[in-house]
Structure formats: structure tokens, C-alpha cells
Chain A
């Protein structure tokens, strides 16, 4: 990463309010340069554009269809439905470290 790229990376984090304090002065100085100002403008343009783009709506029958499928899930929440998964805790590493059904469900790509 060259210097300009590093500064733009700082600006990107600044746009998100995620820039470490130690890098703030450099990033703010970079915003006074053309490259930094252009990056700032474009990152916000991208954000505003993405947020303005509507998402497709769910079809009218979605809720009923899902409700019917959920109703057909017998004993899914019973204390022991036949697997020994016990370590899925929603943590960042839980998906890959868990064993059993929960890990398979949370990370179907590995199933």
C-alpha cells in the first residue's frame, strides 16, 4: 500500500467512525489534499447511493409459507433433539468451533 492508499484507507475508516485516534491527525490532514477530499466525497456518494437503492420486497405469501414450515418443525426446540451440539454461542468463532447440528446449520457451507 502506498502512502496515498494508506491515507485513503484511514479516510475510509474515518467515514465509518472507526478510525483509531492515533491515525486521526493524519487522516484529517489528508482531507485537505485533493486525493483525500475526492476519496471522502466518493465514499459518501457510494454510501448515499447504496442506501437510496430499494431492496426487493418479500412476496405477499412469504409470512404464511414460513409460518407453515415453522409449524412443521416438531420438537426443534426440545431440550435434546438428538445431537450433542452445545457450544454455539453466537461468538465470532462459534460457527467454526462448534460441533454438531448447530455448527452445520450456522455454517452450511461446511456441511
Chain B
């Protein structure tokens, strides 16, 4: 029985031997996962799709140099993240810096007041509002923190795999994920902690 990594490697070797159809199989397998990852970095779905397409083209061109020392998907994700970063730079956009994010206090969260106006604790805790808060906080994260937590929480990568994708030490991965969680948890606090009797 082959592991997922081994079966990917078999396909990679087929591609390296000149079988382009084998690459189509890898595209078919990873296109949605890559879109899920890239769309967290490049928010416009059409632009994210362009980045995904560019990522596969770059991977295809570079595949003959891939020797399988790491898993194919960690290599692909790294190309995807770098392509997304490059895209954001060429579009004249940038991710928020750590300083900007850190500078925002919990009270700086624009939606906090409106969320406090909701009448019942039940509705205040409604999953839609929590989802909105979490996703808004995610979008405001510095790119490195956002990338790390997406790779962990959405893609389910281990710290070691994330360190390969992001080309940084495991300790940095651990710290980035923690800091991302702290920022998001801080944004959730007005929703989860504001006492009922002080809301009116």
C-alpha cells in the first residue's frame, strides 16, 4: 500500500518522464486545496484563481528539479504562497504589517459596538457573527501569520510541514500560529465576554 506522498511521487516521476497526463491528475487532486489556500491570501476569487493557475504552470515548469525530498504538496504550496505574495506586490497591495495589527486594541474593532447592540446572548453568539469576526480578523492578519494559521487550521499541515512550506524554523511556526490565534481571540472577546447587563 502506498502513502499519499508516495503516490504523488509516482505521478511526479511519470511527469518527469514526459507524461503530461500525470500532471493533470495532480492538478485535479490539488486544484481545490490550492484555491482554498490562495483565496485566504488573495481575496478576490477571480484573482485567486489566476494565482492558482500560475502556480500550476510554475510547478510544471520546475517539476524536473523536484527530487521528492519533501512532499509534493508542501512544495506546491510553497510555490502557491510565493506566487500569491508576488501577485500582491505587483498589484501594489500589501498585507497589513505586524505593527498595524498590534496597534489595534480590542476596542479598535469596528464591529464591536454593533455586536454589543444585539439583544440576546444567544444571537450575540450566533455562529454567523463569530464567523464574520474570525474571518475579518484573519484578513487583517500580517501575511506570515495568516499563512501559518491557514496551513495549520484549514490545510491541516504539521508544524514541520509548515516550516518546509514557509522556509522557517518550527519555533517560528509555533510562534506565528500562537500570535495569529491571540489576535483573533482578542477580536472575539467583545462577542464572548461582554456582560449582558452592560449591553444596554
B124 at the interface (CB under 8 A from A): no
Considering the chains assembled together, what is the distance between the CA atoms of A10 and B185 in angstroms?
16
B185 touches A108 (CB 8 A): no
Q: List 11 A-B contacts (CB under 8 A).
A: A13-B174, A50-B134, A52-B131, A55-B39, A58-B31, A70-B56, A90-B72, A92-B164, A105-B62, A107-B82, A109-B82
B135 at the interface (CB under 8 A from A): yes
Instruction: Name the A residues within 8 Å of B16 (CB-CB).
Output: 77
| A45, A51, A55, A88: the one within 8 Å of B130 (CB) | A45
Instruction: Name the A residues within 8 Å of B39 (CB-CB).
Output: 55-56
| B58, B178, B192: the one within 8 Å of A13 (CB) | B178
Instruction: Name the B residues within 8 Å of A109 (CB-CB).
Output: 82, 85-86, 89
Residues of B within 8 A of A (CB): 15-16, 18, 20, 23-24, 27-28, 31-32, 35-36, 39, 45-46, 48-49, 52-53, 56-72, 74-75, 78-79, 82-83, 85-86, 89, 127, 130-131, 134-135, 138, 149-150, 152-154, 158-159, 163-164, 167-168, 174-175, 177-178, 181-182, 184-185, 188, 192
Q: Given known contacts A56-B35, A62-B52, A90-B66, what 5 new A-B pairs fall within 8 Å (CB)?
A: A46-B184, A55-B35, A66-B57, A92-B164, A92-B168
* Chain A residue with Cβ nearest B67: A89
Considering the chains assembled together, what is the distance between the CA atoms of A55 and B46 in angstroms?
13
Number of interface residues, chain A, beta carbon within 8 A: 57
A108 touches B49 (CB 8 A): no
B65 touches A49 (CB 8 A): no
Query: How many A-B residue contacts, CB cutoff 8 Å?
Result: 174
| A9, A94, A95: the one within 8 Å of B178 (CB) | A9
* Chain B residue with Cβ nearest A6: B178
Instruction: Name the B residues within 8 Å of A105 (CB-CB).
Output: 58-59, 61-62, 79
A66 touches B27 (CB 8 A): yes
Which residues in chain A, 65-111, are within 8 Å of chain B measured between CB atoms?
A: 65-67, 69-71, 73, 76-77, 79, 81, 85-96, 98, 101-102, 105-109, 111
